[in-house]
Amino acid sequence: MKLVESFSEFKAGKNIDRPTMVRVLEDVFRTLIRKKYGSDENFDVIVNTQSGDLELWRVREIVPDGEVTDERSQISISEAQSIDEDYEIGEECYEQLDVEEFGRRSIMAARQTLISRIMELEKDEVYKRYHDREGEIVLGEIHQVLKRELLVIDDVTGNELILPRNEMIKGDFFRKGDMVRSVIKKVEMKNNNPVVIISRTDSRFLEKLMEQEVPEIEDGLIVIKKIVRIPGERAKVAVESYDDRIDPVGACVGMKGSRIHGIVRELKNENIDIVNYTANLTLFIQRSLTPAKVSSININEEKGTANVFLKPDQVSLAIGKGGSNIKLASKLTGYEIDVYRENDDPDMEDVDLDEFNDEIDTWIIDQLKSIGCDTARSVLDLSMEELTRRTDLEEETVKEVLKILASEFEEEA
């Protein structure tokens, strides 16, 4: 078993640069030399990275016989001439060493050290490669389907990636052998091993998909200002154009939706609203509530709130299924948005739903909050049919809730 052969074996297929490999092998042999000779100061280690050949040379000054004071750095003339008869006193004697001279046990130990060093280098290389690519899309093949995660093999590098189930879109279903696109979310070191986490729910996944489909984004003519998502359900994307001739929303959607359709399919029919960004806050909040048409808006910049007034038939559109539209609009604008019917008075006394937790079960209150109703009046503003349709509540439960909430205001009156 030769250590040099191990070097050739390890070098094949590794993504480690040659200078680093040479340095590692040199370090391993210098350790061998120090163990045998006490020092490596008078030794040259020469590595040929192409062939895997290695040469070890011991270099000592030639002195007259009987005048050797330091065996590490000096050699007698007679011993030098036994190596090469042309040597003379005062010259340097170069003696080539055979790896086998170090002994089988030392060589095996050095080989193990070499394996460990190469593995560490590989881990560092994997960590660096993927850390530098965080936020980029990666394509891989499902290698194994586990309870909490999927193991994916990178189609380009062959490295293992991890797709946790909580980073998958609702509706994602993959079998072994399927190809999956995702974004590199983060790289962690666990037990000294690089772990590459990929995601399909991260906002950067949608951002990169749009870059691929919309050349104007890749070219920098259109900029994505912000993305907010409820993965698999709905997303809102604020875009801005640096060229007045380009309509950013139209460019992102494409002719007859040609550009956005592919992205929607990839995201399991996630409803994507493209919004034209503007520094005009009132207009931006209005656009963020698309597809609802807003009648008027009152903004309180100090509190970071906005009261939005709409016609009755637009209220449910503004709130969206499960409150998704208004939640995303609030995240996109950074303002807490409250929706009112056009004739509602925001100063009219209202009661937070949590105040009724002694009469109404918490899970029922949570159901109502999920559709954007967090006060008594916001629930009373909706019909019983609409409340039943948009929540998982039974008709009898809705009737009882409406009765309890209405009695609060009757008592006050």
pLDDT digits (tens, 9 = 90+) for 44-75: 888 775 665 778 888 998 889 888 888 888 88
> Is it the case that residue 9 has pLDDT exceeding 60?
no
pLDDT tens profile 129-154? 899 999 999 999 999 999 999 999 99
pLDDT in the model for residue 347: 56
Beta bridge partners of 239: 224, 276
Q: Positive or negative, the Cα torsion across 313, 315, 318, 319?
A: negative
Segment holding 367, helix H or strand E? helix 362-370
pLDDT tens profile 319-336? 888 889 999 999 999 999
pLDDT in the model for residue 243: 86
pLDDT in the model for residue 25: 79
Three-state secondary structure call for residue 185:
strand
Q: Which CATH class is domain 3-129?
A: alpha beta
Cβ proximity of 150 and 163 under 8 Å: yes
Q: How confident is the model at residue 1 (pLDDT cuts 50, 70, 90)?
A: very low
pLDDT tens profile 351-360? 888 888 888 9
pLDDT in the model for residue 14: 55
pLDDT tens profile 347-384? 566 788 888 888 898 888 888 887 767 788 888 888 88
pLDDT tens profile 300-315? 999 999 999 888 778 8
**Residue that is written with structure tokens 């590989």 in the block:** 122
Q: Under CATH, which number does the domain 134-201 receive?
A: 2.40.50.140
Q: What residue type is assigned to position 66 of the chain?
A: G
Report the chain's mean pLDDT, rounded to a whole number.
86
Range with the poorest average pLDDT among 5-14, 328-337, 341-350: 5-14
CA distance 4 to 48: 10
Of the candidates 380, 375, 413, which has an alpha carbon nearest to the alpha carbon of residue 399?
A: 380
pLDDT tens profile 252-294? 999 988 999 999 999 999 999 999 999 999 999 999 999 999 9
Q: Do you find a cis peptide bond into 291, omega within 30 degrees of 0?
A: yes
pLDDT in the model for residue 411: 58
* Full-model pTM: 0.65
| Residues 6 or more apart in contact with residue 267 via CB below 8 angstroms | 169, 200, 206, 209, 231, 232, 235
> Is it the case that residue 239 has pLDDT exceeding 80?
yes
> Is it the case that residue 6 has pLDDT exceeding 60?
no
